[in-house]
Structure 1
Amino acid sequence: MREWQLSDNAAYLHYCPNETIDGIAIDETPDFGPEVVVTADFSSTILSAPLDVSRYGVIYAGAQKNIGPAGLTLVIVREDLLGKAHESCPSILDYTVLNDNDSMFNTPPTFAWYLSGLVFKWLKAQGGVAAMHKINQQKAELLYGVIDNSDFYRNDVAQAQPFADECSAFQLADNALDKVFLEESFAAGLHALKGHRVVGGMRASIYNAMPIEGVKALTDFMIDF
């Protein structure tokens, strides 16, 4: 981040700390000074590791990775940024309106709220975000340990960048075996491992809800395969 070249007249800086297609991450905390409003998409990393929200102007995160059902979004806004919506902004998208109405300016997705509440209680029972971060690191180290110590599996992009703990992408040395790998892994109870259509290969989603036993089952299969 220190090498980023920022525009002098930009209203804000936006970035995403976790890229799930190639399985890479930005593990730095932004520090551009108080005059830069940092806005970040934490959809795939929210609640997976401790987060210093004071470094950001706006944090938003789709619920579908670590919070609850798709269709719900968590937004954290610095108070001094409220009340500045553009005049063309619909009231339903105005964070000030939502804040003033306890996020119930319109009828909220109540079932999604309820399920998210259950997830929050479960997360606290696991020891909270800090404890979950340690578990996520263990899962990622287990999976990438197999990839990095093998000539059969690889992740060319993640070797040059910090790897993503939550969504791990990898390829087979022989792409002709992709179909066989997916078929046999599915038969072994390991589902949805097909990589993104842009890059192909494999992708293991190991978000908070995935126990370390599930990652162990995957790595055991990878070694046997």
Structure 2
Amino acid sequence: MNTTPVTGDVRQRILHTGQIIISGRGFSSVGLNEILKAASVPKGSFYHYFGSKEAFGEALLDDYFTGYLVQLEERLSQPGISNAERLIGYWTHWRDTQHHGDSSGKCLVVKLAAEVSDLSERMRQVLQRGTEQIIARLALAIDAAIADGSLPSLASTQGNATELATTLYQLWLGASLRAKITRDQVPLDAALKATYALLNLSPNLTATQKRNEP
């Protein structure tokens, strides 16, 4: 048993360490002992916070989505640019962070969705809830971009924005999965090109320039 003294926020340390390891290798192939050893946490501390590996998986996904939504809100609220530019910035950041080999920044939805949705109904529900929250926030940004004139009107209803946000999010999940197979950025570049087309924006024309055209 690891006897290294435990300090700080132990629960968060376990979750953070687990996310890094599981992002690289998946949920089922990683044992608790490996996570606890890397986190320098004794096994008894794990069961103080999590009743089982499945409960740990639920907490891991909840924690991931909490952090992701905070970062998404920051990215979609940047001052000084249009809402369309904020949206493009979000997907450009996705492209730039999802093709390299560092697992610490990889999308946990892409890594775990197929595996744990069949393994655990409770974890599947966390994935569904979290992805729906992401799509809802993207839909708000699309509506805001229509309102500020940086995106053309989609008939300007929340339902249309939600449909478009869903299509875009699913496009990027698929492109990220494809990039894992090709081990290059090509699928993500194609997703960004398709995103510009779906939003009716030119890749050679910034959202601010488009908005300010006569």
Instruction: Please confirm whether the aligned pair reaches a TM-score higher than 0.5, indicating the same fold.
Output: no
More helix per residue: 2
Normalising by structure 2, report the TM-score: 0.29
Normalising by structure 1, report the TM-score: 0.28
More strand per residue: 1
